[in-house]
Amino acid sequence: MIRTVTSTLALGLAVASPAAADLAGQPFDYEVDGTVFEGYVARNTDLPETEGTVLIVHDWDGLTAYEKQRADMLAAQGYTAVAIDVYGKTNRPTNMEENQARSGALYADRDLFRARLSGSLAAAQELDGVGNDIILMGYCFGGAATLEAARAGMDIDGFVSFHGGLGTPEGQDYSMTTAPVLLLHGTADPVSGPADLAQVVGEMLDAGVEHDAQLFGGARHSFTVWGSRDYDLAADTGSWDALMGFLDAQL
């Protein structure tokens, strides 16, 4: 189902704020094929068990305070949140040119991209508070990474892309995807526009993949990124609300 949303009730992103719960957030190191990565895990240690686990793939500028804050927000809602790293602990970009180079290297080597996603999942599964119920989500580059994992058939409970790159690389499809996919996208996105959305939805239909898409009228590319020129409060809060509904249904 595709829903077009032009306005939404504001969802307080500070609901169940970290001050109201005993939240623990900390970095952790892990290895994938000999490369060291640094992720971040957050959860409410007051809970005997969490509501499930959400993995967050970072944007093209690497794992930053943004993904960590989103992880803290999820922990405040009762989830174990793990922000993963697909670049490497000593390979963090520091400028736009390096952002493009780091993300471009993974787009050019899909086997490496998938190995780092699956290796990060395996590392997350070793952490305290992480069970078998897992959702993968990501913003922008991370949204594209989430769809890469879906096409790779990653064995988890669902995939959520926030304004991600929607194009399917040549030779790939969604025939191996076994969990639901949620697309959260702006109708004015200049990176992946309505035609790309229609294309990927058609591919999922052809593959029999359970999917949903929520559109935000007039929202541009990075509508959830605080401080971005594309930031859109209604789209940000509306997409977060959609994520909460998806997590409630799938975990």
Whether pTM exceeds 0.85: yes
Structure tokens at 203: 């591919």
The count of domains in the chain is 1
- Helices 141-151 and 96-108 pack at an angle, to 10 degrees, of 10
Q: Residue 237: inside a domain, yes or no?
A: yes
**What residue has token string 């306005």?**
7
Residue 11 lies in a domain: no
Alpha carbons 170 and 92: distance in angstroms, whole number: 28
**pLDDT reported for residue 12:** 36
How many CB atoms within 10 Å of residue 3? 11
Contact 29, 63 (CB under 8 A): no
Flag whether 139 is in a domain: yes
Print the domain residue range for 81.
2-6+16-250
CA atoms of 87 and 90, how far apart (whole Å):
8
DSSP 54: E
Q: Is residue 34 part of a domain?
A: yes
* Residue 133 placed within a domain: yes
- The pLDDT, as a whole number, for residue 21 is 59
Residue 118 is assigned to a structural domain of this protein:
yes
Q: CATH no. for residue 44?
A: 3.40.50.1820
Residue 49 lies inside a defined structural domain of this protein: yes
Q: Is 44 helix (H, G, I), strand (E, B) or coil?
A: strand
Mean pLDDT, each 10-residue run in order, the chain (251 residues):
35 42 89 97 92 97 97 97 98 96 97 98 96 96 98 98 96 97 97 94 98 97 95 98 98 96
